[in-house]
A and B are shown apart, each in its own frame.
Chain A
Amino acid sequence: MKKTIVLMIHVLSVLLFAAGLSVVYMLSPGGFGLSWINESDFISSPQFAEMVNEDIGNIKEYAILKDTFEENGEIVYDKTIVTAETSNGLTAYTLREMSNIAAGYGCTMDPQTHRISITDSGSGEEDSAVNYQLKIAVKYYDPDYYADRPQGPGQGIMNLKDLSIEVMQVFARYYVLDEEYGHESTNFCYSLHYLNAQDEYIDVYNTEKPMDDLLGYPRYLRVEGSGQSSIDTNISPVPSNAYESENSPAQTDPFGREDEYELVVGIDTTFPYQDRYSRAADAYSRDIDNVYAGIFAMASGGILGIISLIMLLYSGSTEKGIVALKPADGMDLELYIIMIAAAGVLLYWIGGGAFSAVVSILAPSDSREYFISLGRALVIYGLVVCVLRSMIRRYNGGVLWKNTLLRKTCDAIEDFSAHGRLAAVLTSRYFSLVVLNVGLGAAAMYCFGMRFESWRYMIFMCGFLVLLLIIDLVVFMRIYRQDRQREDIGTALKAISEGGTETEISEEDFSGRELEVVKDINNISQGLRKALNEQVKAERLRADLITNVSHDIRTPLTSIINYVDLIKRENIQNQKVRDYVDILDKKSERLKNLTEDLLEASKASSGNVKLDMQKIDLVELAMQAGAEFEDKFAARELELCLDTPETPVYILADGRHLWRVLENLYNNAAKYAMEKTRIYADVIAGEEENIFTIKNISREKLNISPDELTERFVRGDESRHTEGSGLGLSIAKSLTNLMGGKLEIVIDGDLYKANIHFPVYDEAMEGAASGEAASSDSGASLIEIVSSQD
């Protein structure tokens, strides 16, 4: 339960960390690290500098396009845009021509968005034009293009269609830039002055304000010439598009003369107009908050994640102090790692596509890559945590080293070296087999491969192969035989271990070491058999001994009792002698009881008792027993309180033996209960068990355990010198057990309680029991006894 919560927390904190990371990543400008968040306002931030940089780049492009397409501020369609070498020599193409050609291919420009779309791909007659290759000489809109500069094979060669579309795209770009930079009322003001290739002074600006005013803006930039030395700006970092640096040589002034070049940019940071800058400034403060939130999320997620990870790693290892290993921890570590890795790969194959699809729907296109790698990282992280957890569990369980393939290999090597001789023999045999196989196979291949045209070599090769097969077959048969023998031995051992002492393996089928093993097993089996027989014999001997001894004691005891009785009948005047005779009388009576109980206890405990199991009513039995003991109880002023259900309570038992059990219990109560107390006997009908209970208050202190009471020759108190052998409870317990019941003694202070439990009677029990009883029925076996007496 606790573990689940920790796991949930961990997953959540990892997700939180990932989310925070994503926010920070998405909102941060690339290449500046996180230092920008120290800048409190937008105009000092790298984002701002980047925007300015972008704008400067656009201005330069705009200036070139303006120069290309315009004259005195108006678009001139007849200006030459491109010159190309054709079969007719150098041909100049004007914007008009180009746009007509492009229109001929279905190329149109949206007047609002200035997007180029090609509706008709053209066919038939245009094919010639499409295939008509031009070598472009000058692209007026691309000052970096030089026809003479080698630009790789095919470069500079275009067909008319592609050229016209390219021109149209550039023209559309001009429109876009013109819309952005051709008007006043933006926060971004600039003025660009330069001398173009045709030695004309070009001024491009979007403000009427003089350049010095622009320099008065809170953020400004001024570049004179095209060198780094002449830059003056308070924008940081310095926009790379504005000047030439080692990192960006391409951003140099394309316009030629340094002395005639001047770019001034000023940004009104009060942002009087609604444009990209004002929006970016708004977004910036929001972003900074979000980035802080993201960093906080990362930090808290990270800390929580680490804490919960540690808890997770340790919580998995122990549960209430006991090392709880999972089934997977039983697997070899290497296999486990491979399995986890395989699971990862499988996940990648199955879920990877779906995940990319989801990412491509949800995430902006420029951060798809990021999200996909984030997902990958999370999955790998999860798998690594799995492995770590398992490793820690293994470590705590002490099986980190044990359950590795490496250890098994080491063990195998150790085992191998420990049984050096065997290992060496086996290895040499195995290797000779392998070498033989490979050698003969190679030889056969050689013969077959080199000389297959010769039948003699063919026969030779076939002979080789047959020999190889025979050898392998012999080896296989040997291994098979050994294995089969081993299996036979295993079966026999199992049989012996399960008590089948009669198991004997025929030695004929075995040979070599197995034969020795079989002989040993047979010896063990014989030994066991002998030991068991001897034990059974000893047991029987003991039971017989007790029976015989008690029979043998009876004969002299009879004389003792009889003659003591005869002495008592003599009219003896001497009081002393009369007392002595009384003692003799009592003790001989006691001896008689002891002998009888000893015999009975011996039989009951050895199970040498015939049972006649019948449906017995416990209520009836309790009443009968109560009646039998009425006088005995009355003699000691004991009151028997019998509490039974109204209806019969049936169990399956031998009535006579159960009476013996109850007789012993009642007898104990009669003997050991305190005078003038009550004895409670209850019959309780239960769901599964029916119970007879007898309770009494002991006269003597019961400083003895219930178990000891039922042991032979133990009575409640050693000091008691009442009649009885101390075997009563032992007999009762043995008999109850024999009948499938249970006798328990409970001692609570002076309260002595005996419970007899029997399963509730049902028809099926009797069927099972009567089968047993029938086989040992008395009448039929009498004749056998008679005849055995001969």
Chain B
Amino acid sequence: MAQEQQTILVCDDDREIVDAISIYLGGEGFRIVKAYDGQEALDLMEKEPVDLIIMDVMMPGLDGIHATLKIRETSSVPIIILSAKSEDTDKILGLNIGADDYIAKPFNPLELVARVKSQLRRYTKLGNMSGSQSQAVYKCGGLMINDDNKEVFVDGEPVKLTPIEYNILLLLVKNAGKVFSIDEIFQQIWNEEAIGADNTVAVHIRHIREKIEINPREPRYLKVVWGVGYKVEKQP
């Protein structure tokens, strides 16, 4: 809030939802611009600079998907899609056409705020972070680990992890994209053979997820590959 007030464009055909979002985000100190369909959002974009867009999908006139496609022709401003459709295909579609995040209705206000902040941080701050890059820095999207001073940042915010949690996360981030089974993680971190059914590792990983993810049930970084293991998605 130290900087100049950031502007968020909220676009939904349901006025009450727009108002509610405005109240939540306004409470966090953002300036809100309201639009009630895709075309209106595009018009507003031309008039004033916007730092982030929250876009509903199903709207009369120009819908959210096409509006996003139009916006992406000219701008790389973060877009969070807010939709009543919760299926995987809808999410994938939204992310594939250039949206940065996807929130299903009905949403948790706190999660919405967290995600908005996360996107803004990544968009505005990440550039600065890369300046202090040293050898032992691992990055994965908004997740960054500085192994020199054992620090973990999510979207630029430091996160506190226990040594074991830190080691597990480091292992996964170093080998981003690779799936580790519980046994493999156990062997790597404890340097011992895994004995029997012990879900210590799984519990640790859940704790890590709770710390680094906005919604641990839908993790962005540390993903559960059910029945196979865990991995950190390779991200730029």
Which residues of A line the B interface, CB within 8 A? Answer: 551-552, 554-555, 557-563, 565-566, 592, 596, 599, 610, 614-624, 626-628, 630, 642-644, 646, 653, 655-656, 658-659, 778, 782, 785-786, 789-790
Could you list 20 examples of A-B contacts with CB < 8 Å?
A: A554-B106, A558-B17, A559-B14, A562-B20, A562-B24, A562-B106, A563-B16, A566-B20, A592-B106, A610-B89, A615-B228, A619-B197, A620-B229, A621-B226, A621-B227, A624-B202, A626-B202, A642-B197, A658-B226, A786-B97
User: Which A residues are in CB contact (< 8 Å) with B206?
Assistant: 627-628, 630
Pick the contact of A620 from B66, B84, B198, B227 — CB < 8 Å?
Answer: B227
User: Which B residues are in CB contact (< 8 Å) with A778?
Assistant: 88-89, 92
Would you call A623 and B20 a contact (CB within 8 A)?
no
User: Which A residues are in CB contact (< 8 Å) with B105?
Assistant: 554-555, 557-558
Nearest residue, chain A, Cβ from B109: A565
Would you call B228 and A620 a contact (CB within 8 A)?
yes
A616 to B227, CA, bound (A): 5
Nearest residue, chain B, Cβ from A554: B84
User: Which B residues are in CB contact (< 8 Å) with A561?
Assistant: 106
User: Which B residues are in CB contact (< 8 Å) with A616?
Assistant: 226-228
List CB contacts (< 8 Å) of B57-78 with chain A: 58, 63, 65-66
Pick the contact of A562 from B66, B109, B226 — CB < 8 Å?
Answer: B109
List CB contacts (< 8 Å) of B1-37 with chain A: 14, 16-17, 20-21, 23-24
A562 to B14, CA, bound (A): 13
Would you call A655 and B227 a contact (CB within 8 A)?
yes
B96 interface residue, CB < 8 Å from A?
yes
A507 to B158, CA, bound (A): 81
User: Which A residues are in CB contact (< 8 Å) with B20?
Assistant: 558-559, 562-563, 566
How would residues 163 to 174 of chain B score, 1 for a CB under 8 Å from any chain A CB and 0 otherwise? 000000000000
Nearest residue, chain B, Cβ from A552: B84
A563 to B23, CA, bound (A): 10
Pick the contact of B202 from A559, A615, A627 — CB < 8 Å?
Answer: A627
Would you call B23 and A789 a contact (CB within 8 A)?
no
Nearest residue, chain B, Cβ from A660: B226
Pick the contact of A617 from B14, B97, B228 — CB < 8 Å?
Answer: B228
Shortest B200–chain A CB gap in Å is 9
A560 to B106, CA, bound (A): 9
User: Which B residues are in CB contact (< 8 Å) with A614?
Assistant: 227-228
Would you call A785 and B93 a contact (CB within 8 A)?
yes
Closest 8 pairs between A and B when the two form their complex, measured CB to CB:
A627-B202, A616-B227, A655-B226, A621-B227, A562-B20, A659-B226, A558-B106, A554-B84
List CB contacts (< 8 Å) of B40-91 with chain A: 58, 63, 65-66, 84-86, 88-89
Would you call B63 and A789 a contact (CB within 8 A)?
yes
Nearest residue, chain B, Cβ from A622: B197
Nearest residue, chain A, Cβ from B23: A566
User: Which A residues are in CB contact (< 8 Å) with B154?
Assistant: none
Pick the contact of B84 from A555, A563, A655, A790 — CB < 8 Å?
Answer: A555
Q: Can you name 9 extra interface pairs (CB under 8 A) apart from A622-B197, A786-B93, A786-B97?
A: A555-B84, A555-B105, A558-B84, A599-B86, A614-B227, A627-B199, A644-B196, A778-B88, A790-B66
A610 to B90, CA, bound (A): 13
Would you call B197 and A558 a contact (CB within 8 A)?
no
Nearest residue, chain B, Cβ from A778: B92
User: Which B residues are in CB contact (< 8 Å) with A642?
Assistant: 197, 199
Would you call A623 and B93 a contact (CB within 8 A)?
no
Shortest B29–chain A CB gap in Å is 16
User: Which B residues are in CB contact (< 8 Å) with A628?
Assistant: 202, 206
Would you call B227 and A659 a contact (CB within 8 A)?
yes
Would you call A782 and B227 a contact (CB within 8 A)?
no
Q: A554-B106, A559-B16, A617-B181 are in contact. Are A782 and B92 (CB under 8 A)?
A: yes
Would you call A624 and B226 a contact (CB within 8 A)?
yes
Would you call B199 and A653 a contact (CB within 8 A)?
no
A202 to B84, CA, bound (A): 148
User: Which B residues are in CB contact (< 8 Å) with A552?
Assistant: 84
Nearest residue, chain A, Cβ from B216: A628
Which residues of B line the A interface, CB within 8 A? Answer: 14, 16-17, 20-21, 23-24, 58, 63, 65-66, 84-86, 88-89, 92-93, 96-97, 105-107, 109, 181-182, 196-199, 201-203, 205-206, 224-229
Q: A559-B16, A619-B197, A624-B182 are in contact. Are A596 and B86 (CB under 8 A)?
A: yes
A293 to B16, CA, bound (A): 117
Would you call A789 and B66 a contact (CB within 8 A)?
yes
Nearest residue, chain A, Cβ from B194: A646
User: Which A residues are in CB contact (< 8 Å) with B109?
Assistant: 562, 565
A224 to B34, CA, bound (A): 161
Shortest B63–chain A CB gap in Å is 7
Nearest residue, chain B, Cβ from A785: B93
User: Which A residues are in CB contact (< 8 Å) with B86?
Assistant: 554, 596, 599
A552 to B106, CA, bound (A): 11
Shortest B105–chain A CB gap in Å is 4
User: Which B residues are in CB contact (< 8 Å) with A555?
Assistant: 14, 17, 84, 105
User: Which B residues are in CB contact (< 8 Å) with A653?
Assistant: 227
Nearest residue, chain A, Cβ from B57: A789
Shortest A789–chain B CB gap in Å is 6
A642 to B197, CA, bound (A): 7
User: Which A residues are in CB contact (< 8 Å) with B226?
Assistant: 616, 621, 624, 655-656, 658-659
Most buried by B among A615, A627, A653: A627
A596 to B217, CA, bound (A): 15
Would you call A551 and B227 a contact (CB within 8 A)?
no
Shortest A353–chain B CB gap in Å is 80
User: Which A residues are in CB contact (< 8 Å) with B205?
Assistant: 627
Shortest A630–chain B CB gap in Å is 6
Shortest A782–chain B CB gap in Å is 5
Would you call A617 and B23 a contact (CB within 8 A)?
no
User: Which B residues are in CB contact (< 8 Å) with A656?
Assistant: 226
Would you call B93 and A551 a contact (CB within 8 A)?
no
Nearest residue, chain A, Cβ from B107: A558
User: Which A residues are in CB contact (< 8 Å) with B24?
Assistant: 562
User: Which A residues are in CB contact (< 8 Å) with B107?
Assistant: 558
User: Which A residues are in CB contact (< 8 Å) with B58?
Assistant: 551
Shortest A43–chain B CB gap in Å is 107
User: Which B residues are in CB contact (< 8 Å) with A646?
Assistant: 196
Nearest residue, chain B, Cβ from A651: B227
User: Which B residues are in CB contact (< 8 Å) with A655?
Assistant: 225-228
Would you call A623 and B196 a contact (CB within 8 A)?
no
Shortest B220–chain A CB gap in Å is 16
User: Which A residues are in CB contact (< 8 Å) with B197?
Assistant: 619, 622-623, 642-644
Nearest residue, chain A, Cβ from B92: A778
Most buried by B among A615, A620, A626, A630: A620
A596 to B96, CA, bound (A): 24
A554 to B107, CA, bound (A): 10
Shortest B192–chain A CB gap in Å is 14
Would you call B84 and A630 a contact (CB within 8 A)?
no
Nearest residue, chain A, Cβ from B210: A631
User: Which B residues are in CB contact (< 8 Å) with A617?
Assistant: 181, 227-228
User: Which A residues are in CB contact (< 8 Å) with B199?
Assistant: 623-624, 626-627, 630, 642
Most buried by A among B105, B109, B198, B224: B105
User: Which A residues are in CB contact (< 8 Å) with B196?
Assistant: 644, 646
Shortest B180–chain A CB gap in Å is 11
Shortest B211–chain A CB gap in Å is 14
User: Which B residues are in CB contact (< 8 Å) with A565?
Assistant: 109
User: Which B residues are in CB contact (< 8 Å) with A615?
Assistant: 228
Would you call A557 and B106 a contact (CB within 8 A)?
yes
Shortest B177–chain A CB gap in Å is 16
A659 to B14, CA, bound (A): 35
Shortest A565–chain B CB gap in Å is 5
A621 to B206, CA, bound (A): 14
Shortest B50–chain A CB gap in Å is 22
A565 to B63, CA, bound (A): 28
Nearest residue, chain A, Cβ from B112: A562
Nearest residue, chain B, Cβ from A592: B106
Most buried by A among B86, B92, B181, B197: B197
